[in-house]
Structure 1
Protein backbone atom coordinates (compact mmCIF):
# COMPACT_ATOMS: atom_id res chain seq x y z
CA UNK A 1 0.00 0.00 0.00
CA UNK A 2 1.42 3.33 -1.05
CA UNK A 3 1.38 6.14 1.56
CA UNK A 4 -0.28 9.28 0.34
CA UNK A 5 1.38 12.53 1.30
CA UNK A 6 -1.46 14.52 2.85
CA UNK A 7 -1.08 18.05 4.23
CA UNK A 8 -1.08 16.62 7.79
CA UNK A 9 1.66 14.10 6.95
CA UNK A 10 3.67 16.83 5.23
CA UNK A 11 3.44 18.98 8.37
CA UNK A 12 4.54 16.05 10.58
CA UNK A 13 7.49 15.31 8.26
CA UNK A 14 8.58 18.97 8.29
CA UNK A 15 8.26 19.15 12.08
CA UNK A 16 10.38 16.02 12.53
CA UNK A 17 13.00 17.39 10.14
CA UNK A 18 13.17 20.67 12.08
CA UNK A 19 13.54 18.77 15.37
CA UNK A 20 16.44 16.76 13.96
CA UNK A 21 18.11 19.94 12.69
CA UNK A 22 17.57 21.66 16.07
CA UNK A 23 19.08 18.76 18.02
CA UNK A 24 22.09 18.54 15.72
CA UNK A 25 22.61 22.31 15.94
CA UNK A 26 22.54 22.17 19.75
CA UNK A 27 25.24 19.53 19.83
CA UNK A 28 27.47 20.99 17.14
CA UNK A 29 31.03 21.96 18.13
CA UNK A 30 30.19 25.68 17.84
CA UNK A 31 27.36 25.54 20.42
CA UNK A 32 28.12 24.55 24.02
CA UNK A 33 26.16 21.64 25.44
CA UNK A 34 23.04 22.65 27.42
CA UNK A 35 24.71 21.53 30.68
CA UNK A 36 27.48 24.08 30.21
CA UNK A 37 24.90 26.83 29.73
CA UNK A 38 22.97 25.73 32.81
CA UNK A 39 26.02 25.80 35.06
CA UNK A 40 27.68 29.01 33.97
CA UNK A 41 27.19 32.48 35.38
CA UNK A 42 26.53 35.44 33.15
CA UNK A 43 29.97 36.87 32.30
CA UNK A 44 28.52 40.36 31.76
CA UNK A 45 26.87 40.72 35.21
CA UNK A 46 28.57 43.10 37.67
CA UNK A 47 30.96 40.85 39.63
CA UNK A 48 30.76 42.95 42.80
CA UNK A 49 26.96 43.08 42.71
CA UNK A 50 26.79 39.29 42.38
CA UNK A 51 28.08 38.95 45.94
CA UNK A 52 26.11 41.81 47.52
CA UNK A 53 23.31 40.52 49.72
CA UNK A 54 19.87 42.00 49.23
CA UNK A 55 16.62 42.39 51.10
CA UNK A 56 15.46 39.17 49.41
CA UNK A 57 18.45 37.28 50.83
CA UNK A 58 17.51 38.47 54.33
CA UNK A 59 13.84 37.54 53.86
CA UNK A 60 14.85 34.11 52.61
CA UNK A 61 17.09 33.69 55.68
CA UNK A 62 14.15 34.58 57.98
CA UNK A 63 11.79 32.13 56.25
CA UNK A 64 14.41 29.37 56.48
CA UNK A 65 14.88 30.14 60.20
CA UNK A 66 11.18 29.59 60.90
CA UNK A 67 10.89 26.58 58.58
CA UNK A 68 13.71 24.98 60.58
CA UNK A 69 11.66 25.41 63.78
CA UNK A 70 8.65 23.89 61.98
CA UNK A 71 10.73 20.77 61.31
CA UNK A 72 12.58 20.80 64.65
CA UNK A 73 15.99 20.88 62.97
CA UNK A 74 19.06 20.00 65.02
CA UNK A 75 20.24 22.67 67.46
CA UNK A 76 23.45 23.22 65.49
CA UNK A 77 21.43 24.56 62.55
CA UNK A 78 20.26 27.45 64.74
CA UNK A 79 23.56 28.02 66.55
CA UNK A 80 25.30 28.39 63.17
CA UNK A 81 22.92 31.26 62.41
CA UNK A 82 23.47 33.18 65.65
CA UNK A 83 26.17 35.82 66.00
CA UNK A 84 28.34 36.04 69.11
CA UNK A 85 27.48 37.09 71.68
CA UNK A 86 24.00 35.55 71.62
CA UNK A 87 21.28 38.10 72.36
CA UNK A 88 17.80 36.59 72.04
CA UNK A 89 14.70 37.31 74.07
CA UNK A 90 11.59 35.24 73.58
CA UNK A 91 8.56 36.22 75.69
CA UNK A 92 9.82 35.93 79.26
CA UNK A 93 12.96 34.04 78.23
CA UNK A 94 16.29 35.83 77.69
CA UNK A 95 18.95 33.69 75.98
CA UNK A 96 22.52 34.99 76.28
CA UNK A 97 24.67 31.92 75.59
CA UNK A 98 24.79 28.70 73.61
CA UNK A 99 23.97 26.88 76.85
CA UNK A 100 20.85 29.03 77.32
CA UNK A 101 19.77 28.36 73.73
CA UNK A 102 20.40 24.61 74.00
CA UNK A 103 18.42 24.42 77.25
CA UNK A 104 15.51 26.40 75.76
CA UNK A 105 15.48 24.49 72.46
CA UNK A 106 15.82 21.15 74.25
CA UNK A 107 12.68 22.03 76.20
CA UNK A 108 10.91 22.88 72.92
CA UNK A 109 11.85 19.59 71.25
CA UNK A 110 10.94 17.54 74.33
CA UNK A 111 7.49 19.10 74.73
CA UNK A 112 6.26 20.15 71.28
CA UNK A 113 4.87 17.33 69.12
CA UNK A 114 4.00 19.62 66.21
CA UNK A 115 4.29 23.32 65.41
CA UNK A 116 3.96 25.79 62.55
CA UNK A 117 5.18 29.35 62.07
CA UNK A 118 3.27 31.51 59.61
CA UNK A 119 4.82 34.91 58.94
CA UNK A 120 2.04 37.51 58.84
CA UNK A 121 4.15 40.60 58.12
CA UNK A 122 7.82 41.11 57.35
CA UNK A 123 9.79 44.29 56.69
CA UNK A 124 13.51 44.58 56.14
CA UNK A 125 15.57 47.77 56.11
CA UNK A 126 19.32 48.34 56.02
CA UNK A 127 22.25 46.96 54.07
CA UNK A 128 25.16 44.60 54.48
CA UNK A 129 27.52 47.31 55.76
CA UNK A 130 25.35 48.32 58.73
CA UNK A 131 23.19 45.22 59.02
CA UNK A 132 19.47 44.80 58.50
CA UNK A 133 16.62 45.62 60.84
CA UNK A 134 13.83 43.08 60.52
CA UNK A 135 10.34 43.56 61.93
CA UNK A 136 7.84 40.75 61.70
CA UNK A 137 4.75 39.19 63.15
CA UNK A 138 4.51 35.43 63.19
CA UNK A 139 1.58 33.19 64.08
CA UNK A 140 2.77 30.20 66.04
CA UNK A 141 0.51 27.19 66.28
CA UNK A 142 1.63 24.18 68.24
CA UNK A 143 0.54 21.02 70.01
CA UNK A 144 2.35 19.56 73.00
CA UNK A 145 2.73 15.81 73.50
CA UNK A 146 0.14 16.19 76.29
CA UNK A 147 -2.41 17.49 73.76
CA UNK A 148 -2.28 21.13 74.90
CA UNK A 149 -2.59 23.49 71.92
CA UNK A 150 -1.17 26.97 71.29
CA UNK A 151 -2.22 29.64 68.81
CA UNK A 152 -0.21 32.84 69.38
CA UNK A 153 0.88 35.88 67.41
CA UNK A 154 4.34 37.12 68.32
CA UNK A 155 6.02 40.36 67.19
CA UNK A 156 9.77 40.15 66.67
CA UNK A 157 12.50 42.71 66.03
CA UNK A 158 15.77 41.29 64.71
CA UNK A 159 19.17 42.63 63.78
CA UNK A 160 20.69 40.50 61.01
CA UNK A 161 24.34 40.91 60.04
CA UNK A 162 26.67 39.50 57.43
CA UNK A 163 29.58 37.48 58.78
CA UNK A 164 31.77 36.42 55.85
CA UNK A 165 29.34 34.96 53.36
CA UNK A 166 26.74 34.07 56.00
CA UNK A 167 23.80 35.89 57.51
CA UNK A 168 23.49 35.69 61.29
CA UNK A 169 21.06 36.96 63.90
CA UNK A 170 22.85 39.48 66.11
CA UNK A 171 19.79 40.33 68.19
CA UNK A 172 16.21 39.12 68.53
CA UNK A 173 13.54 40.66 70.74
CA UNK A 174 10.01 39.32 70.80
CA UNK A 175 6.75 39.98 72.58
CA UNK A 176 3.35 38.38 72.59
CA UNK A 177 0.77 40.28 70.52
CA UNK A 178 -2.23 38.00 70.95
CA UNK A 179 -2.99 34.55 72.17
Structure 2
Protein backbone atom coordinates (compact mmCIF):
# COMPACT_ATOMS: atom_id res chain seq x y z
CA UNK A 1 0.00 0.00 0.00
CA UNK A 2 1.19 3.51 -0.81
CA UNK A 3 1.43 6.31 1.73
CA UNK A 4 0.87 9.86 0.44
CA UNK A 5 1.78 12.97 2.39
CA UNK A 6 0.40 16.37 1.46
CA UNK A 7 -2.68 18.51 1.78
CA UNK A 8 -5.26 17.99 -0.94
CA UNK A 9 -5.12 21.78 -1.45
CA UNK A 10 -1.67 21.32 -2.94
CA UNK A 11 -0.22 19.39 -5.87
CA UNK A 12 -0.73 16.29 -3.69
CA UNK A 13 -4.32 16.40 -4.99
CA UNK A 14 -2.99 15.29 -8.37
CA UNK A 15 -1.60 12.13 -6.78
CA UNK A 16 -4.78 11.50 -4.78
CA UNK A 17 -6.77 11.80 -7.99
CA UNK A 18 -4.43 9.45 -9.88
CA UNK A 19 -4.61 6.88 -7.07
CA UNK A 20 -8.41 7.06 -7.22
CA UNK A 21 -8.41 6.79 -11.03
CA UNK A 22 -6.26 3.66 -10.82
CA UNK A 23 -8.21 2.12 -7.94
CA UNK A 24 -5.06 1.66 -5.86
CA UNK A 25 -4.88 1.22 -2.09
CA UNK A 26 -3.25 4.08 -0.23
CA UNK A 27 -3.09 5.94 3.04
CA UNK A 28 -3.35 9.71 2.85
CA UNK A 29 -1.80 11.95 5.49
CA UNK A 30 -2.83 15.56 4.94
CA UNK A 31 0.47 16.96 6.21
CA UNK A 32 1.20 20.59 5.42
CA UNK A 33 4.13 21.63 3.27
CA UNK A 34 7.25 22.44 5.30
CA UNK A 35 5.87 20.55 8.33
CA UNK A 36 8.23 18.39 10.37
CA UNK A 37 6.34 15.32 9.17
CA UNK A 38 7.06 16.19 5.53
CA UNK A 39 10.65 17.31 6.18
CA UNK A 40 11.35 13.90 7.69
CA UNK A 41 11.05 12.53 4.13
CA UNK A 42 11.79 15.54 1.93
CA UNK A 43 14.30 18.08 3.24
CA UNK A 44 12.79 20.83 1.08
CA UNK A 45 9.49 20.38 2.89
CA UNK A 46 7.61 20.27 -0.41
CA UNK A 47 4.60 18.06 -1.03
CA UNK A 48 3.56 15.65 -2.32
CA UNK A 49 5.67 12.84 -0.93
CA UNK A 50 4.84 9.24 -1.80
CA UNK A 51 6.29 6.43 0.29
CA UNK A 52 6.77 3.22 -1.67
CA UNK A 53 8.11 0.70 0.81
CA UNK A 54 11.46 2.15 1.92
CA UNK A 55 11.62 4.55 -1.03
CA UNK A 56 10.62 8.21 -1.01
CA UNK A 57 9.27 9.78 -4.20
CA UNK A 58 8.70 13.51 -4.63
CA UNK A 59 7.22 15.84 -7.26
CA UNK A 60 3.68 15.23 -8.43
CA UNK A 61 4.36 14.58 -12.12
CA UNK A 62 7.14 12.08 -11.38
CA UNK A 63 4.95 10.30 -8.82
CA UNK A 64 1.93 10.07 -11.11
CA UNK A 65 3.98 8.87 -14.08
CA UNK A 66 5.68 6.26 -11.86
CA UNK A 67 2.28 4.97 -10.73
CA UNK A 68 0.93 4.99 -14.28
CA UNK A 69 3.94 3.07 -15.62
CA UNK A 70 3.97 0.61 -12.72
CA UNK A 71 0.27 -0.18 -12.97
CA UNK A 72 -0.18 0.22 -16.73
CA UNK A 73 -2.92 2.82 -16.40
CA UNK A 74 -3.34 6.47 -17.45
CA UNK A 75 -0.41 6.22 -19.85
CA UNK A 76 0.82 4.96 -23.17
CA UNK A 77 3.83 2.60 -23.27
CA UNK A 78 7.28 4.16 -22.91
CA UNK A 79 9.02 4.43 -26.27
CA UNK A 80 5.80 4.79 -28.27
CA UNK A 81 4.92 7.83 -30.36
CA UNK A 82 1.76 8.17 -28.29
CA UNK A 83 3.83 8.33 -25.11
CA UNK A 84 6.03 11.02 -26.60
CA UNK A 85 2.92 13.04 -27.47
CA UNK A 86 1.50 12.43 -23.99
CA UNK A 87 4.77 13.53 -22.38
CA UNK A 88 4.77 16.65 -24.56
CA UNK A 89 1.28 17.53 -23.35
CA UNK A 90 2.29 16.88 -19.75
CA UNK A 91 5.29 19.19 -20.19
CA UNK A 92 3.07 21.82 -21.81
CA UNK A 93 0.76 21.72 -18.78
CA UNK A 94 3.73 21.98 -16.40
CA UNK A 95 5.52 24.74 -18.26
CA UNK A 96 2.72 26.88 -19.66
CA UNK A 97 0.00 26.40 -17.07
CA UNK A 98 1.45 25.29 -13.72
CA UNK A 99 4.62 27.36 -14.09
CA UNK A 100 2.66 30.53 -14.78
CA UNK A 101 0.33 29.93 -11.85
CA UNK A 102 3.20 29.04 -9.50
CA UNK A 103 5.01 32.27 -10.37
CA UNK A 104 1.82 34.22 -9.64
CA UNK A 105 1.35 32.45 -6.30
CA UNK A 106 4.96 33.06 -5.31
CA UNK A 107 4.53 36.77 -6.02
CA UNK A 108 1.20 36.92 -4.18
CA UNK A 109 1.81 35.18 -0.86
CA UNK A 110 4.75 32.76 -0.85
CA UNK A 111 7.83 34.95 -1.25
CA UNK A 112 8.79 37.41 1.48
CA UNK A 113 6.87 40.62 0.79
CA UNK A 114 10.01 42.57 -0.11
CA UNK A 115 10.82 39.97 -2.81
CA UNK A 116 7.40 39.97 -4.49
CA UNK A 117 6.76 41.65 -7.82
CA UNK A 118 2.97 42.09 -7.84
CA UNK A 119 2.99 43.81 -11.24
CA UNK A 120 4.11 40.57 -12.88
CA UNK A 121 0.62 39.10 -12.43
CA UNK A 122 -0.82 41.05 -15.37
CA UNK A 123 1.88 39.64 -17.63
CA UNK A 124 1.29 36.14 -16.26
CA UNK A 125 -2.44 36.39 -16.95
CA UNK A 126 -1.68 37.46 -20.52
CA UNK A 127 0.76 34.56 -20.88
CA UNK A 128 -1.79 32.09 -19.48
CA UNK A 129 -4.48 33.31 -21.90
CA UNK A 130 -2.05 32.88 -24.80
CA UNK A 131 -1.29 29.34 -23.63
CA UNK A 132 -5.00 28.55 -23.61
CA UNK A 133 -5.14 29.34 -27.33
CA UNK A 134 -2.37 26.79 -27.86
CA UNK A 135 -4.25 24.28 -25.72
CA UNK A 136 -7.32 24.72 -27.95
CA UNK A 137 -5.22 23.60 -30.92
CA UNK A 138 -3.68 20.70 -29.03
CA UNK A 139 -7.04 19.55 -27.67
CA UNK A 140 -8.88 19.82 -30.98
CA UNK A 141 -12.24 18.04 -30.92
CA UNK A 142 -10.96 15.35 -28.56
CA UNK A 143 -12.61 14.28 -25.34
CA UNK A 144 -9.21 14.24 -23.62
CA UNK A 145 -5.78 15.53 -24.57
CA UNK A 146 -4.86 12.15 -26.06
CA UNK A 147 -8.17 11.60 -27.84
CA UNK A 148 -10.52 9.18 -26.09
CA UNK A 149 -7.83 8.05 -23.62
CA UNK A 150 -7.57 9.77 -20.24
CA UNK A 151 -3.89 10.11 -19.23
CA UNK A 152 -1.45 11.69 -16.81
CA UNK A 153 -1.46 14.80 -19.03
CA UNK A 154 -5.17 15.33 -18.33
CA UNK A 155 -4.59 15.24 -14.57
CA UNK A 156 -1.86 17.88 -14.75
CA UNK A 157 -3.70 20.12 -17.23
CA UNK A 158 -7.02 19.91 -15.40
CA UNK A 159 -5.51 20.46 -11.97
CA UNK A 160 -3.75 23.53 -13.36
CA UNK A 161 -6.98 24.66 -15.03
CA UNK A 162 -8.97 24.48 -11.81
CA UNK A 163 -6.13 26.25 -9.99
CA UNK A 164 -6.32 29.00 -12.62
CA UNK A 165 -10.05 29.38 -12.09
CA UNK A 166 -9.56 29.70 -8.33
CA UNK A 167 -6.72 32.20 -8.81
CA UNK A 168 -8.72 34.47 -11.11
CA UNK A 169 -6.92 33.56 -14.34
CA UNK A 170 -9.59 33.87 -17.02
CA UNK A 171 -9.95 31.32 -19.79
CA UNK A 172 -11.94 32.72 -22.70
CA UNK A 173 -11.57 29.51 -24.70
CA UNK A 174 -14.89 27.66 -24.48
CA UNK A 175 -13.45 24.33 -25.62
CA UNK A 176 -10.88 24.44 -22.79
CA UNK A 177 -13.54 25.36 -20.22
CA UNK A 178 -15.75 22.53 -21.49
CA UNK A 179 -12.79 20.13 -21.32
CA UNK A 180 -12.05 21.07 -17.70
CA UNK A 181 -15.73 20.73 -16.76
CA UNK A 182 -15.88 17.32 -18.45
CA UNK A 183 -12.78 16.06 -16.64
CA UNK A 184 -13.77 17.28 -13.18
CA UNK A 185 -17.04 15.36 -13.57
CA UNK A 186 -15.09 12.08 -13.56
CA UNK A 187 -16.02 9.90 -10.54
CA UNK A 188 -12.39 9.58 -9.36
CA UNK A 189 -11.97 13.37 -9.32
CA UNK A 190 -15.16 13.73 -7.29
CA UNK A 191 -14.02 11.01 -4.86
CA UNK A 192 -10.62 12.68 -4.40
CA UNK A 193 -12.28 16.05 -3.78
CA UNK A 194 -14.51 14.48 -1.12
CA UNK A 195 -11.56 13.14 0.93
TM class by shorter chain equals: under 0.3
- Which of these two proteins has the greater Rg computed from alpha carbons? 1
Taking structure 1 as the reference length, what is the TM-score of the superposition?
A: 0.20
Taking structure 2 as the reference length, what is the TM-score of the superposition?
A: 0.19
**Structure having the larger proportion of residues in helix:** 2
Higher relative contact order (CA 8 A, sep 6+): 2
